[in-house]
Each structure stands twice: as C-alpha cells, then as structure tokens.
Amino acid sequence: MSERDWQHQVAAFMCRHELEHSATTHMLDLVSEVGELAKELLLATDYGREPLKSSGAILEELGDTLYSLLAVAETCGLNAGDALGLALEKYEIRLNLHDRAGSR
C-alpha cells in the first residue's frame, strides 16, 4: 500500500468519524504524538543507556504519529507521498554534495 493510500485511509476515517479539524488542531495532535513516541523510545532504551528493546507500545505510538502526520497532510491539501519524494531527493543531493543528509 502506498503512502497516498494511507492518506486516503486516514481521510476516509476522519470523515466517517467526524474527526476533521483545522490544520492547527491536527498539528498540535501530531506534536503530542511525537512526544509520546519519544517517551516510549526513551523508556525502551532506559534513556539511551541500553540498546533499543522494541515493544508494542512503540509500534502503537508510531501508528498514532503516522496517523496524525497524514491528517496534517490531508487537512493542508498536500500529498504526503509527494512530500516524501521531495525530501528523499533533497537528502540524496546533500549526500552527494556534502556526504551528509542534514542541512548545514
């Protein structure tokens, strides 16, 4: 299933359950979910002291984060797959020019 299919699933779910809100509301939800994912990753690594022990809680929070990100894309009228493609192209160029994906 492609990212666009995922986005369509989220859009249909939001519509079916009357969960369509402003982009700002979905963005705040995304930030909250990223925080919850970070917390689970910290707990699973004993705050970075141990190797990652994957868990169902991490998977659940990753799913919540992905849902929220796709809700933001949908609410903003953006195609998440196109955004990902642009990001990958950008990182490819950076790696080829500077041997790193991050910005300067």
What is this structure's pTM?
A: 0.89
Residue 93 lies in a domain: no
Residue 95 lies in a domain: no
Check residue 14 and give its pLDDT.
98
The tens digit of pLDDT for each residue in 30-83 reads 999 999 999 999 999 999 999 999 999 999 999 999 999 999 999 999 999 999
Residue 98 lies in a domain: no
Check residue 3 and give its pLDDT.
57
Q: What is the CATH number of the domain that holds 40?
A: 1.10.287.1080
* Maximum separation of any 2 CA atoms in the chain, in Å: 46
Residue 50 lies in a domain: yes
Q: Which residue has the higher pLDDT, 103 or 75?
A: 75
Count how many domains the chain has.
1
Check residue 102 and give its pLDDT.
85
**Residue 21 dihedral angles phi and psi, to the nearest 5°:** -130, 180
Residue 86 lies in a domain: no
Q: How far is CA 42 from CA 10, 47, 56, 58, 101, in A?
A: 28, 4, 14, 10, 24
Structure tokens at 82: 């196109």
Supply the range of the domain harboring residue 38.
3-79
Check residue 92 and give its pLDDT.
96
Residue 90 lies in a domain: no
